[in-house]
Each structure stands twice: as structure tokens, then as C-alpha cells.
Chains A and B, each alone.
Chain A
């Protein structure tokens, strides 16, 4: 079973600060997805990256897939209270991309107003 380690596990920062969350594995994935989960709800997909070195931006969020497709990072610029939540990375294996996903343990982010 592939393992995805996320760091940090918990992060609490002031509104307006920047932050980076990391997702690392010793395994190669065909795709890497990032989700955000809020209390009482299921995870919601933020982005999928499929090419080594790929960078995607979603407003203040920047996602990068490592060149070797073993790791990924999520960078948030000027964090806002609405960014608070549990962030999960998930590595996809197989030609269908998300046929089987392995999830990381998550990063619980709290933005303090």
C-alpha cells in the first residue's frame, strides 16, 4: 500500500500570512489530487495534477506536482478565515487516474482572523 505523508499535521496562522502544505511519498502516482473537507461534510476536490512539474493556480492557492510525481505542495497566499479546513492530498494509480486513490493523513489548517 502506497503511503502519503502530509506535513504539517496541524497549522494555525494569522489571516494574511502565507503557508505551504506538503504531501510526500516514496511511490509514483499517475495523478495527485487535493481536497478540502469541512466539519460534517465530505471532501471536495480542489485540483488534480497529472504531469510531473505541473503547477496549477486556483485564485490564492497554488498546487505543484513534483517532477518525479512522488510529491506535491499546496501554497496559500494571504490566507483568509474561509481557508480553514482539513486539506487532503490523494494519489491516483492506474490509467484511469482516480480508479484507486490513496489519501494522505491530512493537514488541519486554522486561519485566525
Chain B
């Protein structure tokens, strides 16, 4: 089954404790992206990657890091989480073959930073 998986689905942590949210896709997609979703602000792009070892900042990259060492994985790293990073995070992937290719979203990771 074609899918994007994220782990963990739920995470409560404390300020300053480094964490990683994993994202994996099994569709051999070139493009992967991370978003955060906050009430009243919609989905905002954090980082995206066009292919292995190619990453770029989205609209709200501050406080986040990503890596793309393998095509299927795109982890999101919070080196020193702060309460304003409490949010619902989504990973997404798509092929870059056609303009209208579908972007597939993972189920989301709800992060709370105390």
C-alpha cells in the first residue's frame, strides 16, 4: 500500500530536549516536505527536498533542521524545542514528473513542548 508514515504520532516533551520526527514514504517519490498546522494559520511549509541531499527552506524554517540521506526518508529535527513549536506536523511526498502530481500526506504528529 502506497503511504507516508510518521513517527511518533504523539509526543510530549520539555523545552530544550532534542527530538526527531521520522518520515518515510514507499512510493519512490523525489519530493518530500514538512508542514506545521496551527489553528487559524493553516498549513505552513517548514522545509522541502527535491531529491537526495537537496533540501531548501520553506516559509517557517527557524528552529528546525532536516536531512535527506535516502530517498525514502526525510526526518525533521528540533535541536532545542520551544513551546512555540507545539503544533501538528505533517510530512508529504510527491513525484516531480508532472505538474499535477498528487502530494500524499502522512497521518500527522502532534507535538507538545512544555
Contact = CB atoms under 8 A, between A and B. Distances in A.
Interface of A: 1, 4, 30-31, 33, 40-45, 48, 50, 88, 90, 92, 95-106
Interface stretch (B66-74, B78-86, B100-108): B100-108
Interface of B: 4, 31, 33, 35, 40-45, 48, 50, 58-59, 90, 92, 94, 96, 98-108
B99 A96 contact: yes
B99 A103 contact: no
Contact of A40 (B31, B99, B108): B108
B103 A105 contact: no
Contacts of B43: 43, 88, 90, 103
A40 B100 contact: no
A42 B33 CA distance: 13
Nearest to A104: B42
B99 A97 contact: yes
Contacts of B45: 100-102
Nearest to B58: A100
B99 A45 contact: no
22 contacts: A1-B59, A4-B42, A33-B103, A40-B108, A41-B108, A42-B108, A43-B90, A44-B105, A45-B102, A48-B99, A50-B99, A88-B43, A90-B43, A98-B94, A98-B99, A98-B103, A99-B31, A100-B58, A103-B43, A103-B44, A105-B41, A105-B42
Contacts of B96: 96, 99
Contacts of B90: 42-43
B58 A50 contact: no
B42 A97 contact: no
Contacts of B92: 42
A98 B31 CA distance: 9
